Every structure is written in structure tokens, then in C-alpha cells.
Amino acid sequence: MTKLQELFPNVDFQMMWVATQETLYMTLTSLFAVFLLGIVLGLLLFLTNNKKHAGARILYWITAILVNVFRSIPFIILIVLLLPMTKSLVGTVIGPKAALPALIISAAPFYGRMVEIAFREVDKGVIEAAKSMGANMFTIIGKVLIPEALPAIISGITVTAISLVGFTAMAGVIGAGGLGNTAYLEGFQRGQPDVTVLATIIILIIVFIFQFIGDFLTKRTDKR
């Protein structure tokens, strides 16, 4: 620890560890919710696109509009817009929990589009073969669509995870805690650049870990 203290003399390592835990909490919790919502959104977009049934077309356009709107709102603005909802859901507008609604709502539409693209890339011949064998929609989704699209789904959630790490840093600037909050309040505002540098290094390490795990799982699930 002595060498670290020499390199980063102004860093409170206990505080930095707590900030790292807060960043991981925000990222992993929101990532789990984004994964589930993204799969649902991707399925809705894929299954209702280019359908002749009026109900399917209406459902597609409603889903597509919501996805496009929330994808287009900058994250910082979205946090401000969601403050009343955040207050009612978690009882506060500061701290790691308060960042979760904005993190989920900002990332889920983005990931939903990536899931839709992954499903579109599945060979239509495989889907038609499953239909000809009498498979129902749930069987096709569970046994054909998701397994065939799995490498792209994993690649998409990896990209989303890295984006969420960046979003947590931005959320930290307005009081959500985590490494972003530490870098801004303890590092920038107090004129302690070593605090900012160490927080940045830890964020980069987290990103590299997510990328490594995502690349590994993508290769393991790719049948090509």
C-alpha cells in the first residue's frame, strides 16, 4: 500500500473502494434489468415488424416510437426528467439507487434495438424449418431464435454494459455516488488530480473486464 500512497497521496483508499462498489452495484443491477427488458423489446420489434395484422402494426409502431424517443434523450437530461418518478420509486434522488431508473430506461431501448438486429440476422430457413415441424411460437423463440442469435445478444449486452459504466460516471457527477462522484467532488473540485486519475483507472479496469468476459462468451457461443 505504501507505493500506492506515494503515487496517489490524496486518495482515501477506503472511500475509493466504497465508490467502486457503488459503481459495480449500479452497473450490474441496471444491466440485469436492461438485459431482460431488452430481450422483451427486441422480441416485440422483431415479431411485429412487417406484419399484415393491424394490431401487430400498431404494437410495432408504439414500441418503435418509445424505443427511438428514449434512445435519443441525452442521459443527463433523462436523469433530470425522471427525478419525480425516481423520488416516488426509491424515495430519494441521490445515491446509487436513485440512478437505477435512468440507467435502465436509457439503456434498455438501445439494447432492445441490438437484440432486434440479432434476431433479424438469424437464418430464415432455420425458422421456417422449425415451423414446418410444428413448432409453436414459444418453441421457436426458445429453441431457435435465442440460441441462434446468442453470440450477437452477448456482444450487444457487452457494449451496453460498457455504456452503463460510462453512464454511472455521469450520474455520479449529480450525486449518484460511485467513481464518477469521487472523481468529480474529491478529485476535480478539491484540486486533487491523483484522485481523478485513480478513479479513471478503476473505471477503465472495469470496462476491460466486461469486454474480456463478453468477448470470451461470444466466442464460446458462436457456432460458426
Residue 134 lies in a domain: yes
Residue 34 lies in a domain: yes
pLDDT tens digits, one per residue of 109-168: 999 999 999 999 888 888 888 888 887 888 888 888 999 999 999 999 999 999 999 999
In this prediction, what percent of the chain has a pLDDT beyond 90? 47
Exposed, middle or buried, 31 (CB in 10 Å: 0-12/13-18/19+)?
A: buried
Question: Residue 31 has what pLDDT?
Answer: 96
Residue 6 lies in a domain: no
**How many domains does the structure of the chain reveal?**
1
- Taking alpha carbons only, the member of 140, 195, 203, 111 closest to residue 166 is 203
37: domain CATH number is: 1.10.3720.10
Q: Cα dist. 137→38, 124, 128 in Å?
A: 19, 14, 11
Residue 224 lies in a domain: no
Query: For the packed helices 146-171 and 13-48, what is the interaxial angle rounded to 10 degrees?
Result: 140
Residue 3 lies in a domain: no
Residue 153 lies in a domain: yes
pTM over cut 0.85: yes
Q: Does residue 190 register a pLDDT over 70?
A: yes
| 3-7, 42-46, 166-170, 190-194: segment of lowest average pLDDT | 3-7
Domain coverage including residue 209: 11-219
Mean per-residue pLDDT over the chain, rounded:
89
Residue 157 lies in a domain: yes
Residue 179 lies in a domain: yes
Question: Residue 103 has what pLDDT?
Answer: 94
| HEC secondary structure over the chain | CHHHHHHCCCCCHHHHHHHHHHHHHHHHHHHHHHHHHHHHHHHHHHHHCCCCCHHHHHHHHHHHHHHHHHHHCCHHHHHHHCHHHHHHHHCCCCCHHHHHHHHHHHHHHHHHHHHHHHHHCCCHHHHHHHHHCCCCHHHHHHHHHHHHHHHHHHHHHHHHHHHHHHHHHHHHHHHHCHHHHHHHHHHHCCCCHHHHHHHHHHHHHHHHHHHHHHHHHHHHHCCC
Question: Residue 177 has what pLDDT?
Answer: 86
